[in-house]
Structure 1
Amino acid sequence: MTNADDAGDVGVLRSKRNATRYRILTQIAERQPAVSQREVADAIGVTSQAVSDYLKDLIDQDYVEKHGRGRYEVTNEGVDWLMSRTDELREFVDHVATDVIEEVDIDTALATAPITTGETVSRTMREGVMCATPGGTGNATAVAVTDAEAGEDVGITEFAGVLDYDLGMVTVLSVPQIQDGGSAALDPETIADAAADHDLVATAGTEALAAARAADVDPDIRFGTATAVREAATKGLDVCLLAVADQLSAHTGELRDGNVSYEVVDTAT
């Protein structure tokens, strides 16, 4: 006997009948050989008559053998069917965990005041960090998915509106390599003035660090990777980047790819 649900590849999650058969087979495998239809019915939430009908069908399909009144055993064919459906369920769970849940939009913000789960918050960008403030009065809102005190990180989702802020600008100060004069070839005053006009100062390369120190400037980003500088600018921060000449192309290329505005300044004396 071939069940209509088995004619195609109808999975446990797409067929109520197959889902019930799966649960009954699992219960039999756990209890065999002494199987109480009433206990199985209670365990899966169906009637004893329904279990009896399913058992007849499973026996007809050689998924279960009956050895006497109240004595049943899952056959090798039944085990194979269970395993195939279990593999299918495992694949589905993996898909949900890796593809679906990860795609749910949950972001992180800093709470400006105590926030409780489920509360509507307003989103703003402050000093390059997204902040969440209780209440939905702002242009951009979200819903908190965690509790947080002021200054703590809070999870937010269900975004609405547009987060209004300006992208940052990157000013790149080209620093010669040591064979071309290194930090000594730069005007420290020019570096100090540029640093003062920006939110962050980053250095990329030893000569660049020496140039910053010669200008009495303490870099905010000691190892100014291209992605870090771009990320800061996209969060609305103006960045002064001192980069050794041989690293310029990597940084400017990253900024172009991120659609970040920048200018390269020659600071040689």
Structure 2
Amino acid sequence: MLSSVATRQDVVRKSRHENFPVASRLLPRRYRHHLLNVYRFARSVDDAGDEGEPGGRLPLLDAVEDDLDRLYAGSLPRLPFVRALTGTVRTCSIPAEPLRKLVAAGRRDQSVVRYATFAELLGYCELSANPVGHLVLHIFDSATPERFALSDRVCSALQIIEHCQDIAEDLVRGRVYLPADDLRRFGAIEEDLTRSPTAAPVRGVLALQAGRARTLLESGVPLAASLTGFARLAVAGYVAGGRAAVTALERAGYDVVGHAVRPAARRLLAEWPAVFRGRKAAR
């Protein structure tokens, strides 16, 4: 049904291309198992909203929604990536809401393909990114309203950074995640988003978004400090990956069209202990 129905090995391979360590080998196997199940679901739902003919995407998302109904009704889901969540949902007491929000993000992508303001983009992140942080906190039995609020800042930042890295790919799919008012402010037009090297006006827009993402990331750093043990280790890795990705964008001069701009492993490894100890970004 979905080409995104991947084996566990496929999921692990995809996770290595993220800006942050999805399920670090430093974590015990039980946490890695649950984190990869959640990642597999999130990636599969995202792919369901991107793959195939436009008219066939909503039925795919309907199928995911139906399977979530089965899961929470105590029945066996049909889709492998939803079925794999069964044990994780039960063991970690995961509510349905964050999973359904990810599906809602996929639905929104079918009808909303431009965002007028940064505030509107953050509204999209509330569906597409922030629920993942809530799921992670449930996995580590660390879910509280205060931590959710901090996690939302981190996850929104990570989503914005990814949008900066993928502007050309997104435009090919008919979507622009850079706010329209910022594009106008810098004199950028949509055709500039696929030109290589990246046009100066677009670089200005990207620098603005990256700066906003960094501010969100840093405001979310106290999340790691509020946690202990492996939960703190995992969350510190996510923030460190975001910091390293912003640094990569800066060092590339925000030239993101035609080649991948990804965080250097050594930079991530330098940031990780800094976040874990609540320190400022590494120099």
- Tell me the TM-score normalized by structure 1: 0.22
Task: Determine which structure has greater relative contact order: mean sequence separation of CA pairs < 8 Å that are 6+ residues apart, divided by chain length.
Answer: 2
Query: Which structure has more helix as a fraction of its residues?
Result: 2
Query: Which structure has more strand as a fraction of its residues?
Result: 1
- Tell me the TM-score normalized by structure 2: 0.22
